[in-house]
Structure 1
Amino acid sequence: MDGSKLKVFVDFDGTITSEDVGDAIFREFGDLKDVEKIIEELHNGKISSRQCWDLLCNSVKKINENELLLFIDKMNIDPTFKSFVNLCDENKITLFILSDGFDYYIKRILNREGLSHLKYFANKLRINEDKLIPEYPYFNPDYPVSANPKQYHIINNSSDDDYTVFIGDGNSDKDAAQYCDYIFAKNYLLKFCERERISYWPFKDFNDVSERIKELLSKKRLKKRHQAQIKRKHAYEAE
């Protein structure tokens, strides 16, 4: 199997990182009672991701940037992620990070880990007069639930000839995963796949993913997931 035919899309918070960095920031710097209520409303489908981020940013009355950066620097990544990146690089597998979180911490963490070459798509966050200002460059009214609809990036960065792989764990991954041929899931995404009877592989860390990817590379021919093909076909036709 030619590795260049594989396109891998990876969630950031809770998948590449050991915990959800975005949620952790607001629990640390926002009003905890308000933050928990806002996150709960997101998970219950009462508010959209974009509404959630707006409310969370408003919950932080004043931010000290140095304190924020020190907090971000405490956030760890899965120690097996780098070896997975190496596997992809060695086999000419294109890897994209898709996040419904913010570039502010993603860029800093990737730079710290020597992974600044990885391409990512995320919401933007800036600080102005000690206030957190979110921006949504990829917001699409066709996908109003997401601030940064990951399926949009999957469609734009793969072709009909590619075999798509999604790796994720959270609520923001459930729509995007359905557009991919091979799904690696844990936590919320795993439960969603089981409930919707979507085929997936469970994983604990990127060593598990690497072993499966090696199996795919060893095969002469791969199969596409039929339901994912249908979803991508409709999306290609709509463009």
Structure 2
Amino acid sequence: MNRQRIIFCDFDGTITVNDNIVAIMKHFKPEGWDKLVEQVLSKQISISEGVGAMFALLPSSRQKEVVDYAISNAVIRPGFRELLDYCREQDVKFLVTSGGIDFFVYPLLAPFSIPQENIYCNGSDFTGERIRIVWPHPCDEQCHNECGMCKTTIIRSYPSDRYEKILIGDSVTDFEGAKLVDTVFARSHLIDMCKEIGLPYHPFNDFYDIIDKLQSKEAIRP
């Protein structure tokens, strides 16, 4: 039986050219944000601990400023709409698996008509004094990395005997998921991580690169 292709696609630094969380922090510059980013990237602290702590540095009273900046600052990587068109034409299931936050992920994806149930991201709460990040997609019993939005949990929910799994990503949030899929498309930090453990990957600059590879008659594994 032929397996259906399914894509698990990161958002920050992948669908968008920039990392929106880092961009927000660089713009508003709350004291201590840069150390938290370094600790997350070096795996000294978990993703959920780091992201939660970063946003807790910002007062909820700045909600409109933060939301407006995140949405206006983001740039969609070239070829994204075309990749979605390709997936619809070829019956490739497309999921957004994002460590980003709902207040910028949903508005930025709204023009692309992706079903909301196919978008996984973290939530936000502006009712308290400080911005609080909430985690509607936590780790299952097989993951102990405190991911926040656990990509491996979602990947495992699609049986390997029914789905040919493809991951597109760029950073530490995608690394564990990359170990569970058939094919990895990587850029930035994820390339370095794949090289460290000898994990096969395809580099990409934009989504046209990915479309070309998916359309190839050759096996898409390196």
Q: What is the TM-score when the length of structure 2 is the normalising length?
A: 0.89
Tell me what 2:18 maps to: 19
Q: Please state how far the C-alpha of 1:62 moved relative to its aligned partner.
A: 4.3
Greater displacement, 4-13 / 90-99: 4-13
* Structure 1 residue 164 corresponds to structure 2 residue 162: no
Q: Please state how far the C-alpha of 1:159 moved relative to its aligned partner.
A: 3.8
Relative to 1, partners in 2 of residues 1:89 and 1:206: Cα closer, same or farther, differing over 3 Å? same
Counterpart Cα distance in 2 of 1:12 and 1:73: 13
What residue identity is the alignment partner of 2:138? F
Tell me what 1:92 maps to: 91
User: What are the superposed Cα offsets for residues 126-164 of structure 1, whole Å, 9 maximum, x if unpaired?
Assistant: 211563121112222632341122011011134413211
Q: Please state how far the C-alpha of 1:223 moved relative to its aligned partner.
A: 8.5
Tell me what 2:212 maps to: 211
Equivalent in 28, 40, 51 of residue 49 of structure 2: 51
Q: For the Cα contact (< 8 Å) 2:204–2:210, is it kept in 1?
A: yes
Counterpart Cα distance in 1 of 2:78 and 2:197: 31
Tell me what 1:229 maps to: none
Q: For the Cα contact (< 8 Å) 1:104–1:126, is it kept in 2?
A: no
User: What are the superposed Cα offsets for residues 163-214 of structure 1, whole Å, 9 maximum, x if unpaired?
Assistant: 1101100011110011000110111111111111111111111000000111
Tell me what 1:128 maps to: 127
Counterpart Cα distance in 2 of 1:146 and 1:129: 23
Tell me what 1:231 maps to: none
Counterpart Cα distance in 1 of 2:220 and 2:52: 41
Q: Please state how far the C-alpha of 1:125 moved relative to its aligned partner.
A: 1.1
Counterpart Cα distance in 1 of 2:106 and 2:159: 23
Counterpart Cα distance in 2 of 1:133 and 1:165: 32
Q: For the Cα contact (< 8 Å) 2:8–2:96, is it kept in 1?
A: yes
Counterpart Cα distance in 1 of 2:24 and 2:45: 20
Counterpart Cα distance in 1 of 2:8 and 2:190: 14
Aligned residue for 1:143, secondary structure, equals coil
Aligned residue for 1:16, secondary structure, equals coil
RMSD (CA atoms): 2.2
Q: For the Cα contact (< 8 Å) 1:7–1:164, is it kept in 2?
A: yes
Relative to 1, partners in 2 of residues 1:63 and 1:24: Cα closer, same or farther, differing over 3 Å? farther
* Structure 1 residue 117 corresponds to structure 2 residue 115: yes
Counterpart Cα distance in 2 of 1:192 and 1:144: 16
Q: For the Cα contact (< 8 Å) 1:165–1:181, is it kept in 2?
A: yes
Unaligned runs of 5+ in 1: 226-239
Unaligned runs of 5+ in 2: none
Q: For the Cα contact (< 8 Å) 1:103–1:125, is it kept in 2?
A: yes
Counterpart Cα distance in 2 of 1:132 and 1:126: 6
Tell me what 1:72 maps to: 70
Counterpart Cα distance in 2 of 1:125 and 1:62: 10
Relative to 1, partners in 2 of residues 1:143 and 1:115: Cα closer, same or farther, differing over 3 Å? farther
Q: What is the TM-score when the length of structure 1 is the normalising length?
A: 0.83
Relative to 1, partners in 2 of residues 1:60 and 1:87: Cα closer, same or farther, differing over 3 Å? same
Q: How many residues align?
A: 218
Aligned residue for 1:24, secondary structure, equals helix
Counterpart Cα distance in 1 of 2:137 and 2:80: 26
Counterpart Cα distance in 2 of 1:223 and 1:205: 17
User: What are the superposed Cα offsets for residues 75-96 of structure 1, whole Å, 9 maximum, x if unpaired?
Assistant: 1111211101100011110000
What residue identity is the alignment partner of 2:207? F
- Percent identity, aligned pairs only, is 22
